[in-house]
Amino acid sequence: MIGRITQNIALLIIVLLVTGIAIQVADEKVSRTKGVPSIEKNTKNPLQEVKHYIEFSLELFEDKKGTIVEVTYNGTTYRYYDPAPRELFIKWLKTTPEKSIAVTISLLFLSMAIIFPLGLYWGLRAGHKGGISDRILLLLAPVFSGVPGWFWGLMFLWVLWWRFDVGAVSYMNHIQMAKVHGSVGLADHFIALLIPVLALTFANIAIYAFNVRNLVKQEAQEGYFLVDSLKGLPDRRIRRKLLRTVLPSFLTFTSYNFLNLIINGMAIEKLFDVPGLGYALSHFLGRYFVKTDEGTWIPQLQFFPEGIFFVALVMAVLYFLNSTIMEALYLHLDPRREVYEEA
């Protein structure tokens, strides 16, 4: 287990280094397209830039004040206020980094709390008994696996919010209106997150169930399954035994699919104004318009490398924690794997 954790930490460091260097290269290209000189950045070592990104991300959690910067140009000295990273984040996004991370984790936790049990139950039933539940699953899983989460968000937006006035089109606006009319309760957050959570869970339940169903079908070829069936054991007891057998492999699938769930969750956050990591990324990387001297508007690319790296850093850490937890559960459920790996 310690060796696996060390391996995951090494992989995390490599991913962050590659991501930081890629962001630095992209930042230089964006600066050139805007006509902004980047001589100072070109002279810096790529590792120094990655170190700067990491320091910026850590300073987001420190309550510091900004500094006064003096710049002399053509004999004139200009002074301006350079805000600290945390001040900049709060002023820009109207939330704190801690709340942004907590919102994303809450959205993922709520989604997994629905996907995991329903996917397991449906997959076990379809794989064990077949029937109509298996036919429906075989029909839906290939379709759902090719449709992104934001599509289901738009569908539920039309069905629930537009047709029946259920849920909210904007999480932030709904919470703000609740504050105006009184205190914000748990029910207000539930209503505001209803459509985003449904968008993340609707298709994934069938995808996870399809994976469990295939694992159960493979396990049903084993001799012990036939013996249990011939003994006339109750279906509930057979399914419990199947669950213990396929759960380690299902945890591996869940671990690999976690990053995909994060990415879909970030898109949903942007779509429904949920102030999480996806909402923050849409402010750090996007398009805005500036007015020219001729009175026309031209598009410009918004690229904030330090903020983009912060989002990538949190995503990588979340994936690392998820992989470590799933690995620990895997070894707890199937200790033979650790013995085989040591051998």
Span 105-126, average pLDDT = 92
Q: Please write the tens of the pLDDT for every residue from 128-138.
A: 888 899 999 99
Q: Please write the tens of the pLDDT for every residue from 258-307.
A: 888 899 999 999 999 999 999 999 999 887 777 777 777 777 788 999 99
Span 143-161, average pLDDT = 88
Span 241-250, average pLDDT = 82
pLDDT reported for residue 97: 95
Q: Which residues of 182-219 are buried (b: 16+ CB within 10 A; e: fewer)?
A: eeeeeebbebbbbbbbbbbbbbbbbbbbbbbbbbbbeb
Span 21-36, average pLDDT = 82
Span 76-95, average pLDDT = 89
- Grade residue 1 by pLDDT with cuts at 50, 70 and 90: low
Instruction: Give percent of the chain above pLDDT 70.
Output: 91
Span 132-155, average pLDDT = 89
pLDDT reported for residue 45: 78
Inform me whether the pLDDT recorded for 318 exceeds 70: yes
Inform me whether the pLDDT recorded for 108 exceeds 70: yes
Instruction: Give percent of the chain above pLDDT 90.
Output: 42
pLDDT reported for residue 14: 93
pLDDT reported for residue 103: 93
Q: What are 73's two structure tokens?
A: 């140009």
| Entry pTM | 0.84
Inform me whether the pLDDT recorded for 341 exceeds 80: no
Task: Give the C-alpha separation, 254 to 291, whole Å.
Answer: 48
pLDDT reported for residue 137: 93
Averaged pLDDT of the chain: 85
Q: What are 8's two structure tokens?
A: 């995951």
Find the angle CA(318)-CA(14)-CA(262) to the nearest 5 degrees: 25
Paired strand residues for 301: 287
Of 236-240, 248-252, 260-264, 300-304, the range with the highest mean pLDDT is 260-264
Least confident window among 44-48, 89-93, 120-124? 44-48
Q: What are 325's two structure tokens?
A: 């937890």
Inform me whether the pLDDT recorded for 18 exceeds 80: yes
Inform me whether the pLDDT recorded for 69 exceeds 50: yes
pLDDT reported for residue 7: 82
Q: What 8-state DSSP symbol labels residue 69?
A: E
Task: Give the C-alpha separation, 111 to 128, whole Å.
Answer: 25
**Residue 271: which residues within 8 A CB-CB, separation 6 or more?**
150, 153, 154, 196
Q: Please write the tens of the pLDDT for every residue from 188-223.
A: 989 999 999 999 999 999 999 999 999 888 887 777
Task: Give the C-alpha separation, 92 to 280, whole Å.
Answer: 9
In sequence order, which ranges of 160-304 are alpha helices (DSSP H)?
Answer: 164, 171-180, 186-219, 223-230, 235-271, 277-284
Inform me whether the pLDDT recorded for 238 exceeds 70: yes
Least confident window among 152-156, 266-270, 331-335? 331-335
Inform me whether the pLDDT recorded for 78 exceeds 60: yes
